[in-house]
Amino acid sequence: MEKATFAGGCFWCMVKPFVEWEGIEKVTSGYMGGHVENPTYEDVKSGKTGHLEVVQIEFNTNIFPYEKLLEVYWMQIDPTDDGGQFHDRGESYKTAIFYHSEEQRILAEKSKKELEASGRFKKPIVTEIRPAMIFYEAEEYHQDYYKKNPEHYLEDRKKSGRDEFIKKYWNK
């Protein structure tokens, strides 16, 4: 098993796209990248801890390679937005790939360069590639939110504009 950690705005919307694949063993919502120990959701949301909302994925690289995770990740975000994601604004909602090994760093940098060269986006790709730090698991009510609160999840996702963006840039 390996771990991958991605920040893509609200972590509620970042779980479901990954759990549906064979080889993905676990997807956990949490926080990474900040300077405060054991932050709460309210701490992170305030923007004062430096943490980003992330999903940490445990996966079997023989079944689902890291390169495929990167492809799925890019298709969930607006990599040109440095102010957050969709209707979620602020530091904690920025995008980032947190690498857990030198191989992951190299693959992440390569995929970012390929996306930049593709011409898919007119603005620069601003998603950062950063070393993984301590992962803090989010509160239980955030885990698998799309299952626990399907109506609110769907309503929030619809209001966010994420699906329209994905359709415009990825479902061509």
Q: Which residues partner with 53 through β-bridges?
A: 31
Quick one: DSSP state of residue 94?
-
From the CB of residue 127, how many other CB atoms can be counted at a distance below 10 Å?
A: 23
Report the C-alpha gap between 35 and 101 in whole angstroms. 21
From the CB of residue 31, how many other CB atoms can be counted at a distance below 10 Å?
A: 28
Report the C-alpha gap between 141 and 20 in whole angstroms. 20
Active site residue 13: no
Task: Pick the catalytic residue from 7, 10, 13, 15.
Answer: 10
Task: List Cβ neighbours of 65 (8 Å cut-off, separation of 6 or more).
Answer: none
Catalytic residues: 10
